[in-house]
Structure 1
C-alpha cells in the first residue's frame, strides 16, 4: 500500500491508447480534467493499494445442464488495484480495477480474460457553486433470464462484458433565503460485447428551482429534465419532463404535497408516449429514526404509486421502497442514483454507513450486480420495483439481514411482452474470533416471462441457492476464504431443471 500526496500545481495525467476498456479511459480523463481545475491551494492525498486474488473452484455441473452435467476445475487469478483519495472534503474519488484470468479443466477446457472496473469521483471545483461527478463500470452481466445464471468464471455462455460511463458537471446556488437553484448536464454511454445490445450515447440536462429557508411550512419546486439517447443501428429515444411541486407542513411530523407536469417523450411504442401527469401524497416522520412517504397519481401509461419508509432502532435498520416510472437499458447501466436497484454483495464483516452511496460500496470492494432482464436490447419499459430489507445485530458477534425485491418490466412494444423477477435472501455472519468468521446465506429467485417475451410458451423458473463459508484473516494483508454453494433450478420448460454443487477456495493479498 502506498500513499501519495499531490497539490494542484503538481497534478499531471498521462495515458496511452492501449488495451484499457473505453469506459475506464473516459472516466480517467474526466477525473484528470476535474482535478486539474481544482483550487491550487487544495492538497489531495492518494492511497494506492495493489491486490492479488487467486481462487480454485470445483463444480459438478459447470454447464448447468439437466441431462449432461460437466465436472470442472476452474482456476483464476485476479491482479488489481484500488486508488482512492483521502483527507479531502472537496475531492473524493475511488477506483477499483481487476483483470481476471480463468482456466477451466474438464470436459470443456477453455481459458478467458475478464476486465472489471468500478470507479466513482466527485469534485468541488468552485466552492459552493461548481461541481463535477463521474462514474465508470466494466463488468460481465447476465444476457438472458432463460439461460445459465452462473458467474462468468464458471460459465460465460450467458454473460457479456458491459462498459458504461458518465461525466456530469453541475452548478448549484442559494439565491438568498428565497430559493435554491441547480443545473446539471450529464454525458453518458454504454458499450456491449459482441453486439448483444446496441451501443448508446446519451446527453441529459436537468434544472430545478426550489424554495429556500424563508419558507417555513410551505415548500415548492419547479423542475425540468430532458434526456436524448442515440443508439447504434437502432431507433433513438427522447425523454422530456416538466413539473411543479407544492407542499405544506401541517405539523412538525406530517406534511402533504402534490405534483403536476407534462411528459414529452419519443420512442418506438405501441401506446402513447407523452401526456400530462399528477401525483399527490403525504409524508410522516414521527421521530428522527422513522420516516414514511406515500403517493398516488396518474401518468400517460396509467396509474402510478410510490412508497418509501425507513426505521432505525439501536440494533436494527429497516427500509422499504416502491416506484413506477418509464426507463430503458441505457439508463439502467449508467444511472446509480437509485442504489436500491443495485444488489451489492460485500465482503464478510463489511461495515457500511446506514445509507451507503456508490463511493462507500466501491471503497468496501462490494460487487455490484445490476439487473438487465430478459435481454440486453435497447428496450423501453415501464419499471415497477419494490425493494425492502432489514438488518440487525444479534449480540456482539452476529449480524443478520433479510432482503426482498420485486421488479416487473412492461415493455412498450407489441413484440417484447413482460418479465418479472422476484427474490428474497437471508444472510448471517458470525464472528468466531477476531480473525475468523463464518457466514451463511439462503436465497430464492423466481423469473417469470410471458409468451410474448419468450417467443413461445410462458416461462417460470425458480432458482434456490444455499451458501456456507469460512473467512480467516491470517495477517492484515493476507485473507483466505472457503465457500460451498448449492444451486437448484426448477422450471416449467423441458430440460431446464438442474442442480449444481460448487466449492471455492480463495486467498487475497494486499501489498
Structure 2
C-alpha cells in the first residue's frame, strides 16, 4: 500500500493557489460578487430509495447561503459558485453539505506564464448499480461527497519561424472520505510548428504522469508522440501520429506499453462545422476516434467517440465531451455579446432549468482501477429566445485493466465482479419554455441502463421532472418542482419514488 501524507483539503488548496496566481492581473478585471440564499421545502414518499415494503415518506427543509463570483479581464477569467447546504429531515438526522464549482485562468506574465485551476465539491453516485440519487435531499446510500481540484501553471510562448512551445505542470487531487484519496502530478512539453504558409506542419509532445492512491503503489505513465499534418485541399487535411508509451500499473499480462500510431482526416467545410476521424493501434488493440460539430443560428449538433486508458480520478477532472454550458456559450454569443454577462446568464439558466448534458445518465463510479473506456455521445441543442431543447444519447464501456480486488473498500467482496466490465447507455431530453417575461416551464426526462455482462446484472433507471419557476422581483425567484423516479434491477432492490419541492432563491 502506498504511503500518503497529510495534505490540505484539495479544493481549498487549489483555490488558495489560484487566488495567489491571480493577484497580478486581478486589478484590471471586471469583478462581480453576488451573495445568494436558497430556501427549499421538499417531500418524498421514499426518501431512502428503498424497496416498496420499506418505503418511508419524509419532509426535508434546506437553507443554503452561498456566493457567486465572476471575473473577466484581459489577463484573468474566474467563475465560482459556492453554497453551504443545511438539510433538516422530519425523521432522519440533519446533514451539512458543501457545494462548489470553480474554475479560473490567469496570465501571470504576459505571453509567457499562465495558470489554470479548478475545484469542485459535489454529491456523486459511488456505483453505477443500485439506487441512483436524482435529488440532493435523497438518502439512497449510494452517494458520497467528492472533492476534486487541479492547479496547472505553464509556460507558453511563440517563437516566430520555429514553433509554439508549452511547458506545463499539473497537480490534481480527488477525495471522497475513506473511499477515495488520490493525487497525481503531471509534466509535459508540447511543440507545434510555426506554419504561417499553410503547408505541412508538425507537433511533438512528451509527458509523464505519476498517480498516487491510498490503495495502490505509485504508478508512472509516460508517452512521447510525433504528429504530422498535411493539407490535401483548403479545408481538408490528413494527419498521422506515432510514438511510444509505457505504464507500470500491475496488469494481468505484465507492464503495459509499447509503440502506438494513428492516422485520420480533418475536414472543416465552414467556420461552424468540423469533422475529425482517425484509426490507430495501441498496446490494448485497435483504436478509433470521431469528433463532429455543426452549428447553426439556433442549433448545435455534436457527435463524438473516443477510447483511452483512464481512471476515476482523471474522469473527475475532465469536462463532459459535449458540455451543455459550452454549447450555450457558443449559441448565445450573438444574443449576449458580453462574455461575463453571458456566463452569469447561462449559470442561472442551468440552475433553474436543470437541463443536463448528453452524458448525464452515465455514472462515473468511484474505483481505484485503471480501465479501458470506450465512450460515445450524440447531442443536440436547439435554443430560441422563448425555449431551449436539449437532447442527448450516450454510452460507455469500461474494462478493468488491474485487479478489481483493490475496490473491496468501496463495494465489498460480493460486488467486485460487477465492475470488471460495465456497459452504460443513457437518453436525456430536457425542455425549458419561457412562458412570459417572469414565468418558465421546465421538463426533464432521463433513462439509463447499466449492465455487468460478467455476472448478468442489468439495472435500469428513469426520472421525469416537471418544474415551474417565476421571477417575483429582480433578485427574488420562486419555483415548484415535481419528480418521479423509478429503478429496476435483475439483482432486486427496485423502487419507485415521488417527490415535490418548493424553492425560494434570493440574490443580494
Which bracket does the TM-score occupy, shorter chain normalised? 0.7 to 0.9
Q: Deviations over 1:389-444 (max 9, x none)?
A: 111136x4222121111111111125451112211111111111111011112211
Structure 2 distance, partners of 1:215, 1:260, is 24
Structure 1 distance, partners of 2:328, 2:156, is 32
Match of 1:485 in 2: 483
Distance verdict in 2 for CA 1:371–1:75, change over 3 Å: same
Structure 2 distance, partners of 1:327, 1:342, is 19
Structure 2 counterpart of 1:381, from 362, 371, 384: 371
Q: Deviations over 1:438-460 (max 9, x none)?
A: 11122110111233xxxxx3211
1:121 aligned counterpart, secondary structure: strand
- In the alignment, is residue 34 of structure 1 matched against residue 21 of structure 2? yes
Deviation at 1:124, TM superposition (A): 0.5
Kindly report which structure 2 residues correspond to 1:115-130, keeping only aligned pairs within 5 A, or say none. 115-130=98-113
Deviation at 1:372, TM superposition (A): 8.7
Match of 1:114 in 2: 97
Deviation at 1:99, TM superposition (A): 0.9
Q: Deviations over 1:308-327 (max 9, x none)?
A: 00112222110111110111
Kindly report which structure 2 residues correspond to 1:246-325, keeping only aligned pairs within 5 A, or say none. 246-271=228-253, 272-325=255-308
Deviation at 1:210, TM superposition (A): 0.9
Structure 2 distance, partners of 1:422, 1:212, is 42
- In the alignment, is residue 170 of structure 1 matched against residue 154 of structure 2? yes
Structure 1 counterpart of 2:145, from 161, 172, 176: 161
- In the alignment, is residue 438 of structure 1 matched against residue 418 of structure 2? no
Structure 2 distance, partners of 1:57, 1:352, is 32
Match of 1:10 in 2: none
Structure 2 distance, partners of 1:406, 1:112, is 34
Q: Deviations over 1:108-143 (max 9, x none)?
A: x22100011111111111111110111111112111
Question: Does structure 2 conserve the Cα–Cα contact (< 8 Å) formed by 1:143 and 1:372?
Answer: no
Match of 1:504 in 2: 501
Structure 2 counterpart of 1:392, from 382, 387, 391: 382
Kindly report which structure 2 residues correspond to 1:16-415, keeping only aligned pairs within 5 A, or say none. 22-38=9-25, 42-66=27-51, 67-86=53-72, 88-106=73-91, 109-150=92-133, 151-155=135-139, 157-193=141-177, 195-197=178-180, 199-271=181-253, 272-334=255-317, 336=318, 338-340=319-321, 352-354=329-331, 360=343, 364=347, 366=350, 373=363, 375-393=365-383, 396-415=385-404
Structure 1 distance, partners of 2:321, 2:186, is 22
Structure 2 distance, partners of 1:503, 1:152, is 13
Question: Does structure 2 conserve the Cα–Cα contact (< 8 Å) formed by 1:332 and 1:372?
Answer: no
Q: What is the root-mean-square deviation of aligned Cα atoms in Å?
A: 2.7
Deviation at 1:330, TM superposition (A): 1.9
2:217 aligned counterpart, secondary structure: coil
Deviation at 1:97, TM superposition (A): 1.1
Distance verdict in 2 for CA 1:419–1:234, change over 3 Å: same
1:223 aligned counterpart, secondary structure: strand
Q: Deviations over 1:467-504 (max 9, x none)?
A: 1111111111101111111111122122x221111111
Q: Deviations over 1:260-314 (max 9, x none)?
A: 0111111121235111111110011222222111101110011110000011222
Distance verdict in 2 for CA 1:192–1:425, change over 3 Å: same
1:352 aligned counterpart, secondary structure: helix
Structure 2 distance, partners of 1:341, 1:413, is 29
Kindly report which structure 2 residues correspond to 1:451-466, keeping only aligned pairs within 5 A, or say none. 451=454, 457-466=455-464
Deviation at 1:152, TM superposition (A): 4.1
Structure 2 distance, partners of 1:216, 1:351, is 31
1:228 aligned counterpart, secondary structure: strand
Distance verdict in 2 for CA 1:360–1:301, change over 3 Å: farther
Range with bigger deviation, 48-57 or 266-275: 266-275
Which one has the bigger helix percentage?
2
2:241 aligned counterpart, secondary structure: strand
Match of 1:5 in 2: none
TM value normalised by structure 1: 0.86
1:310 aligned counterpart, secondary structure: strand
Structure 2 distance, partners of 1:462, 1:371, is 10
Structure 2 distance, partners of 1:325, 1:473, is 45
